[in-house]
């Protein structure tokens, strides 16, 4: 029965993705950014869905199983404050520039902003390298969930493969529109079923308060921060959500908004949506400590185990579908973003000197997406690490490059050399801390992301101040005009 | 007409919330508040307050100058 429900859900996902293709206009801009036509609801669903990964659902509950309720403060409530703030200050401005100049990727913007192919290429490689593990997390999560929910009837590798094929089908066929329609459907599914899981499981435990009392008896340390999370760790973790400023899939989603004002709803509802998803995930993870004894990455499956134990049958199928929704709606956006970057920033820019037919753009986009998904799926078969840890390292890299987008958007005096210095400092320090296995610096809980971010900002400032200021014509293009004025001057759509 | 919330007060609100995120006073408090451990209940409330601040931000400090004139086309 569980399997039937999950397969019906996957069929619905495919149907929604296929339906979206009816509106396809046959152009690259429509395929990659849905002709910049989305309203407030679809934008909120896509921004939220793209950010809710296996990390949020499985990683959060797995981490809460080990570390307790402090996980919510570490990642969720800080994200609820910082992510909408980034949308407000950066997202709206990037949207405006994207609409005026016809950008489809952040590399196009960065390349033109500093008039440098080199900076664009460097950023392309760094972003691609960081995105692969992020997509990998999705495959790991989907394989684990399907296997767990079906009691092992679907092996982990088959589970990952099924999700791989379904995602591939609707992303390559429907492009951005298909992705966002499916995202919207999936966000509604995982929020509804996530809350249902929460209610059903806690009802069986005699209510939330009773559940927490059971945890208090067995593992009281999970209900406080205590020594598990240090104050400096909480503070430095607030740097992690800055990663949304540099995620290529968030950039792509920003560009899909019809107007700047479309962002308003996303800003207001984002903190609430995060709380609604993370509170149940964290509570279920903590509650899992009453029933299960798991070690290390085994805790990634705590949510699936809780569902299997407390809500088997049809409900388990619904809940499994909810978890899969959360996983797939970030994987699809990430894959679409990488495919768009390969097509636009490498093939179109270098192979076709920016002259590529609409059909060719769509074809290359699809081919790259197939390659990315296939490669990541194979990698997922050999990796066995904590979803939370992999995600945090990915976030660290993106967050540490935040000074690049801030300088691009706000600092006229910033130069390509400053950008080079900033990105390279991130690469060097990230590799250093990652290879050293440092999840914190010293004993006080300071996260590497805080240090790398500060160094990256200093590198941007020094690198820029020591080099020649950008040409006035470049500044005129990016700073002298605001949206309405630029449109009136007829300076829109400078093709890149 | 004067705005009820000048832009700077809302920016100050963002900074204040960032500071209040570090709830050191609840670090080892395991009291249950509405059935939730105090540290979790606080941060749930924090998320609601953040949404209210965002509402004020989009109402009183929206960057209208970023709007780009429409080319037409249907919103989805």
Interchain contact, A78 vs B63, CB within 8 Å: no
Judging contacts by C-beta atoms under 8 Å, the chain A residues touching residue B74 are 37
pLDDT in tens, A20-29: 888 888 787 8
Residues in chain B: 76
Interchain contact B76–A (C-beta under 8 A): yes
pLDDT at A49 over 60: yes
Averages of pLDDT over runs of 10 residues in chain B (76 residues) are 80 97 94 93 97 96 82 58
- A230: nearest CA partner in chain B: B27
Query: Residues A90, A92, A93, A94: is their CA dihedral positive or negative?
Result: positive
pLDDT attached to residue A189: 83
Contact B75 A37 (CB under 8 A): yes
The DSSP-derived string for B46-73 is HHHHHHHHHHHHHHHS--GGG-------
Q: Where are the domains of chain A?
A: 2-389
Q: What mean pLDDT do residues A409-426 have?
A: 97
Q: What is the pLDDT of residues A195-230, one digit of tens each?
A: 887 888 888 888 899 999 999 999 999 999 988 899
Interface probe, candidates B43, B44, B74, chain A, greatest A C-beta count within 10 A: B43
Fold for the domain defined by A2-389: Sodium/glucose cotransporter (1.20.1730)
- SS3 of residue A446 by DSSP: strand
SS3 B36: strand
Give the whole-angstrom CA distance, residue B6 versus residue A139.
47
Q: Any residues with CB less than 8 A from the CB of A261 and at least 6 apart, and which?
A: B62, B67
Interface of B with A in 44-63 (CB under 8 A): 44, 46-48, 50-51, 54-55, 57-58, 62-63
Residues of chain B found within 8 Å of residue A235, distances taken between Cβ atoms: 22
Q: Provide φ and ψ at A231, rounded to 5°.
A: -55, -40
Write the residue in A72, A207, A486 that is nearest to B35 by C-beta: A207
Residues of B in contact with A225 (CB under 8 A): 27-28, 39
Nearest CA to A10 out of A321, A315, A304, A317 is that of: A321
Across the interface, do A226 and B22 touch by the CB < 8 Å criterion? no
The span from the first CA to the last CA of chain A, in angstroms, equals 52
User: Is B75 inside a domain boundary?
Assistant: no
Banded pLDDT at A173 (limits 50, 70, 90) = confident
- pLDDT tens-digit series, residues A367-397: 888 888 888 888 877 776 666 677 788 889 9
Give the number of A-B residue pairs with CB atoms closer than 8 Å: 156
What per-residue confidence (pLDDT) applies to B65? 85
In this prediction, residue A387 carries a pLDDT of 66
Q: Across-strand partners of A441?
A: A446
Look at residue B43 and tell me if it is in a domain. Answer: yes
Q: How many whole angstroms separate alpha carbon A292 and alpha carbon A301?
A: 11
> Do residues A230 and A444 make contact, with C-beta atoms less than 8 angstroms apart?
yes
Q: Which residues of chain B make contact with A264, given a CB cutoff of 8 A?
A: 58, 62
* CA distance to partner chain B, nearest, from residue A268 (Å): 5
- Please write the tens of the pLDDT for every residue from A433-451: 988 887 788 888 899 999 9
Q: Can you tell me the mean pLDDT for A248-270?
A: 94
Burial of A408 (0-12, 13-18, 19+ CB in 10 A): buried
Which ipTM did the prediction report?
0.92
**Under an 8 A CB cutoff, do A80 and B47 touch?**
yes
Count of the separate structural domains present in chain B: 1
Residue numbers of the domain that contains B48: 7-62
> Percentage of residues in chain A with pLDDT exceeding 90?
41
Contact by Cβ (8 Å): A477, A432? no
pLDDT of the residue at A481: 56
Q: Could A483 and B67 be called an inter-chain contact, meaning their C-beta atoms sit closer than 8 Å? A: yes
Encode pLDDT of A331-353 as tens digits: 888 888 888 898 888 888 888 77
């Amino acid at each position: 029965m569980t399997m039937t429900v999950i397969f019906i859900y996957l069929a619905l996902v495919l149907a929604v993705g296929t339906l979206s293709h009816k509106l396809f206009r046959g152009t690259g801009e429509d395929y990659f950014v849905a002709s910049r036509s989305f309203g407030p609801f679809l934008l909120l669903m896509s921004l939220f869905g793209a950010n809710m990964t296996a990390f949020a659902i499985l990683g959060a509950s797995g981490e809460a199983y080990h570390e307790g309720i402090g996980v919510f403060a570490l990642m969720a409530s800080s994200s609820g404050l910082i992510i909408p703030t980034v949308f407000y200050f950066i997202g709206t401005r990037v949207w405006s520039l994207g609409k005026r100049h016809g950008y489809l990727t952040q590399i196009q913007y960065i390349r033109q902003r500093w008039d440098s192919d080199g900076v664009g290429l460097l950023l392309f490689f760094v972003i691609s390298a960081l995105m692969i593990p992020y997509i990998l997390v999705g495959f790991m999560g989907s394989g684990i969930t399907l296997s767990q929910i079906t009691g092992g009837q679907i092996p982990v590798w088959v589970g990952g493969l099924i999700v791989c094929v379904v995602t591939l089908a609707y992303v390559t066929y429907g492009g951005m529109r298909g992705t966002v329609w499916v995202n919207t459907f999936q966000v509604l599914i995982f929020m509804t079923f996530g809350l249902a899981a929460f209610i059903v499981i806690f009802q069986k435990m005699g209510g939330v308060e009773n559940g927490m009392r059971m945890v208090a008896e067995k593992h009281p340390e999970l209900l406080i921060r205590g020594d598990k999370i240090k104050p400096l760790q909480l503070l430095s973790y607030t740097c992690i959500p800055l990663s949304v400023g540099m995620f290529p899939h968030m950039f792509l989603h920003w560009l899909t908004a019809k107007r700047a004002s479309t962002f308003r709803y996303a800003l207001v509802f984002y903190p609430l949506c995060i709380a609604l998803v993370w509170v149940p995930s964290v509570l279920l993870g903590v509650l899992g400590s009453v029933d299960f004894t798991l070690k290390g990455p085994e805790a990634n499956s705590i949510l699936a185990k809780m569902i299997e134990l407390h809500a088997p049958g049809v409900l388990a199928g619904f809940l499994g579908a909810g978890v899969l929704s959360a996983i797939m709606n970030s994987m699809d956006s990430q894959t679409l973003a990488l495919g768009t970057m390969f097509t636009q920033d490498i093939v179109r820019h270098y192979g076709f000197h920016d002259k590529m037919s609409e059909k060719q753009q769509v074809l290359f986009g699809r081919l790259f997406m197939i390659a990315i998904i296939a490669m990541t799926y194979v990698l997922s078969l050999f990796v066995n690490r904590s979803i939370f840890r992999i995600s945090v390292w990915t976030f660290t890299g993106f967050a540490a490059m935040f000074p690049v987008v801030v300088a691009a958007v706000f600092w006229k005096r910033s130069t390509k050399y400053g950008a080079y210095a900033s990105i390279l400092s991130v690469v060097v320090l990230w590799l250093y801390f990652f290879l050293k296995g440092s999840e914190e610096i010293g004993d006080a809980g300071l996260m590497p992301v805080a240090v790398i971010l500060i160094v990256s900002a200093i590198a941007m400032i020094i690198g820029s101040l020591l080099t020649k200021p950008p040409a006035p014509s470049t500044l005129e293009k990016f700073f002298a005009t605001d949206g309405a004025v630029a449109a009136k001057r007829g300076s829109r759509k400078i093709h890149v | 007409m004067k705005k009820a919330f000048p832009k700077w007060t809302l920016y100050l609100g963002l900074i204040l919330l960032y500071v209040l995120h570090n709830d050191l006073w609840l670090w080892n408090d395991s009291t249950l508040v509405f059935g939730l451990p105090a540290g979790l209940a606080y941060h749930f409330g924090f998320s609601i307050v953040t949404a209210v601040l965002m509402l004020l931000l989009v109402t009183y400090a929206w960057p209208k100058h970023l709007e780009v004139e429409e080319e037409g086309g249907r919103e989805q």
